[in-house]
Amino acid sequence: MSIDRPTTERHQVSVEPNTTAAAPAAAPNAAAGAVDHRIEVSDLNIFYGDFRAVADVSMEIEARSITALIGPSGCGKSTFLRSLNRMHEVIDGAYVQGHVMLNGEDLYGPGVDPVAVRRKVGMVFQRPNPFPTMSIYDNVIAGMKLNSKRLRKGETDEVVERSLRGANLWEEVKDRLDKPGSGLSGGQQQRLCIARATAVEPDVLLMDEPCSALDPISTLAIEQLMLELRERFTIVIVTHNMQQAARVSERTGFFNIEGTGKPGRLVEIDDTSKIFSNPSQQATQDYVTGRFG
Ligand X SMILES: Nc1ncnc2c1ncn2[C@@H]1O[C@H](COP(=O)(O)OP(=O)(O)OP(=O)(O)O)[C@@H](O)[C@H]1O
The site for ligand X (CB under 6 A) is made up of 1-3, 5-6, 48, 51, 53, 71, 73-79, 91, 264
Report the residue number, 219 or 256, with the smaller CB distance to ligand X. Answer: 256
Going by C-alpha positions, the residue among 84, 123, 91 that lies closest to residue 106 is 84
Report the residue number, 55 or 151, with the smaller CB distance to ligand X. Answer: 55
* Residue 52: CB minimum distance to ligand X, A: 9
Report the residue number, 48 or 95, with the smaller CB distance to ligand X. Answer: 48
* Residue 34: CB minimum distance to ligand X, A: 33
* Residue 56: CB minimum distance to ligand X, A: 15
Distance (Å) of CA 221 to CA 66, 99, 193, 218, 225 = 16, 34, 14, 5, 6
Residue 135 DSSP one-character state = B
Contacts with 238 (C-beta within 8 Å, 6 or more apart), sequence order = 68, 69, 70, 77, 78, 81, 207, 208, 209
* Residue 178: CB minimum distance to ligand X, A: 36
Strand partners, 264: 54, 257
Report the residue number, 125 or 137, with the smaller CB distance to ligand X. Answer: 125
Closest-by-Cβ residue to ligand X is 1
Residue 173 DSSP one-character state = H
* Residue 46: CB minimum distance to ligand X, A: 8
Contacts with 259 (C-beta within 8 Å, 6 or more apart), sequence order = none
Contacts with 28 (C-beta within 8 Å, 6 or more apart), sequence order = 64, 230, 231
Report the residue number, 136 or 275, with the smaller CB distance to ligand X. Answer: 275
